[in-house]
A and B are shown apart, each in its own frame.
Chain A
Amino acid sequence: METFTDNILAVLLFTDLLLVGMSRLSGCISLVAVQGVLVGLLPLFSPEHVNPRSIVFFVVVCALKGVVFPVVLSRAMRSVNARREVEPFVGFGWSILIGVGILAFSFYQAKQLPIPSALVAGTMVMPAALATILIGIFLIVSRRTAVTQVLGYLVLENGISTFGLATVSGIPLLIELGLLLDVFVAVFVMAIMIYQINREFDHIDADRLSTLKG
């Protein structure tokens, strides 16, 4: 089973790298959806194998991250007429280089973390989780459009879920569902905000939101 987990995580890392180099927003949205489904797959291959709990979780995750979020975000994107990430703070060439750097750093750092190996299902878990979290943060700080910032938040959350699903076995289903519900509402609220900001500003560059200072 560990090889399955490792394979899934390898694909997850691959999507991370694709994300930092992609400028088309619809492509980014699909990539984040794929990531979400991948993370939902993880509990099915956990040491406890398939049980009702992991199946419920998988179904809910697929529905939310695979279907609902992409739909909500693409509608928000279309309504504000932002198809591409134009001129991010960090250029795409540099972004990919930084992405690779993050990957290397994660593999190095994961070895240093004092997580007992008995807890972790597979050797790739810590590096993949760490890299996904860092890439999420990188997307939030390096991109201009509000939609990409929401995507960055989702990537960050995927990283944290990966870490949680693979390391802590005792989290009750209720809490995981609560967490998902919160992310769901967060995406919704952010999408509504994007509509409103757009109506007020006629654009959604989050970097123009900078009147308030001091």
Chain B
Amino acid sequence: MNTLGNLLWLLIAMPLLGCLATLFLRSSRAVLHIVSWGVPIISVLSLGTIFSVFDRAPVFTSGEWLLLDALSAFHLLGLYIIFSISSVYAGVYFSHEPKEQELTLPLARRFGALWFATMATMALVLLSNNLGIMWVGVETTTLVTAFLICLHTSAVSLEATWKYLVVCSVGVAFAFMGILLIGAAVESPGGVGAHVLQWSEVVVAAPNINPQLAKLAFIFLLVGYGTKVGLAPLHSWLPDAHSQAPAPVSAMFSGFLLNMALYCIMRYIPIVEQAPGCAGWAHGLLVVLGMVSIGVAAVFIISQHDLKRLLAYHSVEHLGIIALGLGLGRLGVIAALFHTLNHSICKALGFFSAGRLGQIYGTHDMRRISGALSTHPTWGVGMFGSILALIGVAPFAIFMSEFLIIKAAVETKSYWVLALFLAGAATVFIGALKHAVDMSWGTPSQSVRPQKASVAERALVFLPMGALLVLGLWMPPAFWNFLEAAADVLKVPSP
């Protein structure tokens, strides 16, 4: 056992300290400063810790409560990237809020404390080896993030928050039922003993568990965590919450909250797939749910008028694509993981732009936004570029990962999946491109004044876009190995 592993607790402790610190600050500016400086610093320290602890073999803390393997390391990387850029953006965004929505000290404290707390609970979910603790973490993220949605209290934001709370709490309760059923499936042949919920032990015992219970459990888990992922038809809370939350919160939701829930489902794939007679069963379910999500999202994207809701439905679509990839063999899993990171970065950029353009135009209604490229070139480029990337235009990285998923579909000979996927992607492409073009060009209305971009704003647009371009054109070999190692945690045989 590696005692260095105990350093992993730091990843949870540091954001909690940040959370405490915000409660003692005396001005809202100070809170925003500590968020936009503190989170990147914590992220760098955490990534340093991960780097020094990480090993080819899984690393445990003593008592095996926390586990770091390639899969959790990969997701933690995403977590820290998204949180860092969203925190810097939060500083920019809240300083441009209109007078009546200015962040007062209590509101700023609420935002800062909940923001750090979300970071800590998400790290707990990604690191926990115990399936029960993982569940507790997921439910905690629901409760912690609820008040971030209605940071600016209004009738619609309360409506979105209530929906989010009830739908996600009930959904996640189903996932607990699934966890209990996994426990029963492990216990039933008689004797794994006290550690029925330790993932590292369950996954080893998986070839001997009760297959019927395992299947039943996976259905509950898929419905439960799937609600939080926003897979259609369980996505009803998602567009409301994403559109009503302040832009940095939407970026974090779309960029990481959804991935975190999908990560929980990923942990159960090797358990169920290895159960006797279940090979391919969980994969099949994921493919079906993925297809449904892509289809539903495509329909709503065409008929959408609200920019943030448009981006929210893109999340449904892309999480569907990721679920689809998870069901398409080893190459599919690698592509899905790659897509996770690409989508997160791109969607964060999308919400950043939507938030700032919304402040400039005073609305998120796409019919009233025009000439964004001339009004605010930086955020206009951010919006146009992120939508282009989202719909899969080459050479952005999302094109590459979607291309890999197509390759995986051909490799596994699932041609009907391929056909439906392409049809969905084409529909989204046409629908969203029209929205993007209409918003980018044209003459802005008289009341909107062109604005200059600060250095931070330029960095927030061009760094993520640059990253997407580089990953689309060149895959670093070390990164590919990392993706392969993460995919191997799911124990998918190559065809």
Contacts and interface: CB of A to CB of B under 8 A. Distances in A.
Contacts of B414: none
B210 A116 contact: yes
A146 B162 contact: yes
Contacts of B84: none
B240 A170 contact: no
A182 B159 contact: no
A182 B134 CA distance: 12
User: Chain B contact residues (Cβ within 8 angstroms of A): what range?
Assistant: 35 or more
B187 A119 contact: yes
B285 interface: no
Given A153-B170, A193-B165, A212 B146 contact: no
Given A168-B180, A193-B146, A196-B158, A140 B170 contact: yes
Contacts of A156: 170, 173
A178 B133 CA distance: 8
Contacts of A201: 155, 158
A115 B170 contact: no
Given A182-B143, A190-B165, A214-B304, A172 B173 contact: no
B197 A115 contact: no
Contact of B196 (A133, A137, A170): A170
B147 interface: yes
A126 B190 CA distance: 20
B184 A119 contact: yes
Given A160-B176, A200-B155, A171 B197 contact: yes
A50 to B, nearest CB: 19
Interface in A153-202: 153, 156-157, 160, 163-164, 167-172, 174-175, 178-179, 181-182, 185-186, 189-190, 193, 196-197, 200-201
B184 to A, nearest CB: 5
A209 B159 contact: yes
B309 interface: yes
Contact of A170 (B160, B194, B213, B300): B194
Contacts of B173: 153, 156-157, 160
Contact of A209 (B133, B163, B184, B300): B163
B184 A178 contact: no
Contacts of B210: 114, 116
B132 A175 contact: yes
Contact of A160 (B163, B180, B190, B216): B180
- The secondary structure that dominates the B interface is helix
Nearest to A196: B158
Nearest to A180: B136
Nearest to B155: A200
A174 B244 CA distance: 36
B154 interface: yes
A35 interface: no
B195 interface: yes
A206 interface: yes
Interface in B104-158: 130, 132-133, 135-136, 139-140, 142-143, 146-147, 150, 153-156, 158
A108 B200 CA distance: 36
Nearest to A156: B173
A160 B150 CA distance: 30
A212 B196 contact: no
A206 B162 contact: yes
A51 interface: no
Nearest to A178: B136
20 contacts: A114-B216, A115-B188, A118-B188, A137-B170, A140-B170, A153-B170, A164-B176, A164-B180, A167-B183, A168-B183, A168-B196, A170-B187, A178-B136, A179-B176, A189-B165, A196-B153, A196-B158, A197-B158, A209-B159, A214-B300
Among all A-B residue pairs, the 6 with the closest Cβ atoms: A175-B132, A178-B136, A168-B183, A114-B212, A209-B159, A170-B196
Given A163-B177, A172-B130, 8 more contacts: A116-B188, A167-B180, A172-B132, A174-B133, A178-B133, A190-B166, A196-B153, A211-B159
